[in-house]
Structures are given as structure tokens and as C-alpha cells.
Amino acid sequence: MVLPATTRAAGLCRIAACSSAAAAATGGRRGAEQLPFSLAERGMVVGGHRGMGMNAVGAPPGARVGGVKERENTLLSFGRAAAHAAVAFVEFDVQVTKDGCPIIFHDDFILTQETEDVNEKRVTDLLLEEFLSYGPQKNSCKISKPLLRRTKDGRVLSWSAKEDDSLCTLQEVFECVSPRLGFNIELKFDDGIIYERGQLDRALQAVLQVVFQYASNRPIFFSTFHPDAARIMRELQSLYPVLFLTEGGTAQHNDSRRNSLDEAIRVCLEYDLHGLVSEVRGVFKNPSAVLRAKESNLALLTYGQLNNVWEAVYIQYLMGVNGVIVDLVEEISNVVADFCKPVLNQSMLGSGVELVGAKHEAFSQQQLGFLLRLIPELIQQPH
């Protein structure tokens, strides 16, 4: 629901107060100590993509990501991820409804079917009550609207899950998910819209209202593909880290700030952000960017289908990537926990390459070269 003006004003005062306190505590500087989940201490952290993984609607037969059972971005999926001790955080997508409520949903449009016609609406044009009417209902007396999803190739398919759950709000996620689990709150904006400053402000302030009221001591960081939203979120508060999301040059946009890892690093430094989250292929194509990020005191996390292949994750561990966001949450988190132990099983790769330890500083250029040669083969595999 829309917040009264007095409530919004009070919320902004809290935001300003937290920002001032955090800036005073750190001398106004961005530092590694502000990053969540003790990145420097843990070697590599694992985050669950939309909980236990995204729903790969229309994935080809045999694709491993097609095995995700839980509906993405739901309390069920987040709760399952929280049950895995090796999972540090979950990543989820936040948009703000027309009446000012932050909700959890990835796609810009939500689809359902009425008789034979497909009905498609922009998520941010919906009131909260209408948004929650899609999919399974908490109240069995309510009639639900079946969910459909548009695939990247334009097909509209039924969007079902083996283990279903209702859509939810950001407040519910804070209230219902174990406080030990960190949150990577992705601030979602439509690539097809040019947003004015006021529109970004309203959406970000609505998210911050909920975060400051319900976060308590939970580890939290924000991320977004929208460079101006990242800058504004950094201006609005200094309590929680802000990371810039980038496709790392694997896709091109009109906004040049989004078109390479080098540009992403520049954005982070110019806007005093805490790090970046790159599509993993961008890191493999430009591995020297890892060193530049480290030299700039920036955290570097990755996302993408290759993060569901343990060999690709291990390469990143050796390169010094701080964290990975994955769909095969149980499998990859267990593997990462194993190779982050003080002594690595030397037969792990089954390749005849001798590995001398788990710390990425210990690998040789020959070993890294061998691993990097695996990348073209990994990219070709169905994931």
C-alpha cells in the first residue's frame, strides 16, 4: 500500500541517519571491512540464485538447471537454501508495485491465461493485491491465476514447479527466512525504460523502508544492472554495500557503462561502489580484470550457467573470485566447501595435474593454463 507522507519522511530520516552513522564509523571510505559474509576470510562464498535456483522454463531435455524443484523467488525456495550451511546468501529480484510495495519477482512482465488469450502486464503497473493473485494462493478460498512465462526465444509456456509456493513481498522474506542467511537484493529495472531520477528515488526509498525496518543484523548487500540506481542507492545510504551488476561484455547496451568489465570497474570507482557481480563468461574472457578489481579493493562475484559446473567454479576460486551465484545450490555449495578447506584433495580434477593447496596464491601458471583450456569445452556443454 502507499505510505503516508509522514511515514515516508520518517523513513528517509532513518536512511539519512544510518548513512551518516556508517560514514562516520568508516571515515566515509569504502573498505573491505564493509563487505558482507567476511569475503576475505572465507575464500569464496556461494549464493543461491533466486533461492534454490531459477526455474528454467523451456530448458532442453537433459539440462541440469531444469532439475530445480522449487518455484524461484519464494519463501519455500529461500527456506530450502537457508537449510544448507555452506550457502552464505540468496540472490533475489525486487520490484516495487504501483502502490509502493517491494515484491519479489524476476521478469518485467507477468503472464497468465484467460480462456484462450494470454494476458500480459508489467509487474510495476500492478497493485500489490493483483500481483499476489497470480500463482498458488495462501488462502485456499481464493481463485489463483495460472502463471505463464515467456522464454528468450519468444515462446509462452506454462510455468509450473514440482514444489510450488505463493508469490511474496520483501517484508515477508525478512520475516520468514532464517536470519542467518544473507540477502543479495537485486534492484530490478526494465532495460527498455529510461527512468527519471524521481522514479528511481521512489523505488529505492520504498525498498529501503522495508530493509531498515526488518533487516536487524542480517548480512545484506544490494546489486543492480542500472548504473544510476547503483549510484543513487549509494547516496541514499552507507550501511549496506552496493555492487554493480554487469554482463561483462557478453551483451551490448546503449549505455556504454554496461558493456565491459573494464567499464564496470570504472563505474564502481567513480560511484564509490563496493564491487561488481559479472556474468562468469565475462571474467573468463577478461581474466586480468580480476586483478584490477582486487587492486581497486573491489569485491568480485559472478553469476551465469557456467557457475553450475564445479570445474568452472574451481577456476574462479584459483583466480581469486570472491563468490559465485548458482542454481545447483546443494551440489556447488558442497563442492566449494570442500575445496576451500586448508588442504585440497589433489585428485579432485582427475587430470594428473598436481595441486599443492587450496589457497589461490599457491597455483602455478601451468596449472591455471590447464584449467583455462577447459573453458571452451565447458561453454559448449548443456547446463
Domain boundaries, the chain: 44-107+168-338+363-380
Residue 364 pLDDT: 52
Cell of 49: 540464485
Residue 366 pLDDT: 56
Ramachandran angles phi, psi of 16, nearest 5°: -65, -40
Answer yes or no: is pLDDT of 299 > 80. yes
Q: What is the pLDDT of residues 193-203, one digit of tens each?
A: 999 999 999 99
C-alpha 233/C-alpha 229 separation (Å) is 6
* Distances from the Cα of 359 to the Cα of 39, 295, 341, angstroms: 14, 18, 9
Q: What is the pLDDT of residues 278-290, one digit of tens each?
A: 999 999 999 999 9
Under 8 Å between Cβ of 243 and 301? yes
Q: Cβ of 191: how many Cβ atoms within 10 Å?
A: 12
Q: What is the pLDDT of residues 134-179, one digit of tens each?
A: 999 988 788 889 999 999 888 999 998 899 999 999 999 999 999 9
Q: What is the pLDDT of residues 337-382, one digit of tens each?
A: 988 776 544 444 444 333 323 344 444 555 556 556 666 555 554 4
Residue 374 pLDDT: 60
C-alpha 294/C-alpha 195 separation (Å) is 32
Residue 339 pLDDT: 82
Three-state DSSP class for residue 24: helix
Three-state DSSP class for residue 143: coil
Class of the CATH domain delimited by 44-107+168-338+363-380: alpha beta
Cell of 67: 532439475
* Distances from the Cα of 337 to the Cα of 86, 321, 333, angstroms: 6, 15, 6
